[in-house]
Structure 1
Amino acid sequence: MKVVPVAHRSAAEHVRSQLIELIESRYFAVNDRLPSEADLAQSFGVSRSVIREALHSLNALGLTKSYAGKGTFVAATQAQSQLMIGRYLPAQLNEVRRHLEVPAARLAAERRTQEDIDRLAELVEEFDRADDPAERFKVDARFHIGIAQATGNPLFSRLVEDLRAVLQEQTLAVSASPARTAQARAEHRAIFEAIRDGNADLADLSMRRHLAAVASDTAASDTAAPDAIAATRGGPGGEG
């Protein structure tokens, strides 16, 4: 079995993604028993607790079933929800984002400092220049976290940072839309300009439109051919 050892605070996510690829590619067929936790931990170069977390996610996706004393077996080669994010559905994630990031954008417009404006302006420019999907993904995360920081309430930034940890699968799927990058650039700039100008109503509206576009593109990706979605799993992409 060819795997890539990982050393990252989100190691379970990396392990899960690679196991999904192995199952979807039929390296492991339905009813096949996965290697033991100990063997997987050695292959991936992580602890057994990381493997258990990854296997729990696979069970939640309906890809595997675990039996006490017997091990974990492949139950399907396609997730029950192709875009399920660990144990969270896109609709659930989008709902939380609306109730967290829209108020954050409004407060950012009301409370932003010059330092906040300068930081967000730089991130908008970085996002416009970024050609590499992996780099865009990182800048996108920093932009949304930067908005939360501009509220002046550290809990907003902490919650948005935590939320970004489960966003990667969604942004991978959204990246299947060819026009998404250009659209995201325009949406980011509209949000920034509203915050810069201190227009709380427009910041609220611009963030709502941005998140609605992400939700729409996610729904479209959910109906796409499995091969098109699987192709995006080669690395981070998409913008939300």
Structure 2
Amino acid sequence: MKVVPVEQKSAAEHVRTQLIELIESRHFAVDDRLPSEAELAASFGVSRSVIREALHSLNALGLTKSYAGKGTFVAATRVQSHLLSGQYLPSQLNEVRRYLEVPAARLAAERRTQEDLDGLAELVAAFEDNDDPAERNKIDARFHIAIAQATGNPLFSRLVEDLRAVLQDQALAVSASPGRAAQARAEHRAIYEAIKDGDAEMAALAMRRHLQAVVATSAALSDS
């Protein structure tokens, strides 16, 4: 297996890209077991945590599956339509999110109660403390639903809940993308702070920026 050692900066992204190329070129076939984390770390010249982050991303893309005590195995040799949630395209989902969740953030800043703020603060802290993409994705969903609930309009929370169910696959792929966790933590914090301060325009802007970052990550994954 020929790989190119990478610099530590953006290492997981480089590792992910090279592993995708190896899988799509059939260097690894379906059901093949990938080298262990330690072996991959030595080959790429990076830490095992970097390899682990890259493997999380491959799992989310549907290329591999990891089994405790057994390792990571190739599940497909091409990136699946992982960003197509049912019959909806990413562009359609993101358009709806923009017109639903940006106004929700604005209203949440105007109407939130102390109970709403306490709940949002707990979710922001939980998201910041969690390193597992699947768990972060669940917390992310709860955070966005909590913002909708803070509007005081039950239709917002119902619509966001339904949307998150449709978004599950896309959201997990984005959550597992290397480097995305740190960005999302900062974005969630900015949204929360604006809502806490009662700054409706800043809350809307922070949510808009957050959704734009999701779109950019989705596009990068689609181009992988």
Bucket of the pairwise TM-score, normalised by the shorter protein: 0.5 to 0.7
1:137 equivalenced with 2:137 (yes/no): yes
Alignment of 1:13-162 (within 5 A): 81-162=81-162
TM-score by length of structure 2 reads 0.64
- Where do residues 91-240 of structure 1 align in structure 2 (5 Å cutoff)? 91-224=91-224
Structure 1's consecutive aligned runs of 4 or more residues displaced over 4 angstroms after TM superposition are 77-82
AA aligned opposite 2:162: D
When the two chains are superposed, the root-mean-square deviation of aligned CA atoms in Å is 1.9
Q: CA deviation at 1:158?
A: 0.4
Measured at CA, do residues 139 and 88 of structure 1 come closer, stay the same or move farther in structure 2, by a change above 3 Å?
A: same
2:86 partner SS: coil
Distance 2:197 2:133 in 1: 29
Q: Distance between the aligned counterparts of 2:161 and 2:106, measured in 1?
A: 18
Report the AA paired with residue 191 of structure 1.
I
> Match of 1:167, SS?
helix
Report % sequence identity.
73
Q: Distance in 1 between matches of 2:120 and 2:99?
A: 21
Amino acid corresponding to residue 219 of structure 2 in structure 1: A
Secondary structure of the residue aligned to 1:83 is coil
Q: Is the CA contact 1:123–1:142 (under 8 Å) kept in the aligned structure 2?
A: yes
Equivalent residues, number: 151
**Contact 1:176 1:221 survives alignment (8 Å):** no
Deviation at 1:80, TM superposition (A): 8.5
Distance 1:82 1:134 in 2: 15
Task: Report how far residue 97 of structure 1 moved.
Answer: 0.1
Contact 2:106-2:200 at 8 Å conserved across structures: yes
Give the 3 Å change call, closer, same or farther, for CA 221–176 of structure 1 in structure 2: farther
In structure 2, runs of 5+ residues without a counterpart are 1-28, 32-76
C-alpha displacement of 1:176: 4.7
Q: Distance in 2 between matches of 1:146 and 1:152?
A: 10
User: What is the deviation of 1:175?
Assistant: 3.5
1:51 matched residue in structure 2: none
TM-score by length of structure 1 reads 0.59
> Which blocks of at least 5 consecutive residues in structure 1 are unaligned?
1-24, 28-76, 225-240
**Partner SS for 1:88:** coil
Taking a change above 3 Å as real, the CA distance of residues 219 and 212 of structure 1, as seen in their structure-2 partners, is: same
- Over 3 Å counting, the alpha-carbon distance change for 1:122 and 1:175 in structure 2 is closer
Q: Tell me the secondary structure at the aligned position of residue 178 of structure 1.
A: coil
Deviation at 1:204, TM superposition (A): 0.5
C-alpha deviation, 1:131, in angstroms:
1.9
Read off the aligned partner of 1:150 and give its amino acid letter. Answer: A
Give how far 1:78 is off. Answer: 6.0
* CA–CA separation in structure 1 for the residues paired with 2:107 and 2:220: 31
CA distance in 2, matches of 1:82, 1:124: 26
Higher relative contact order (CA 8 A, sep 6+): 2
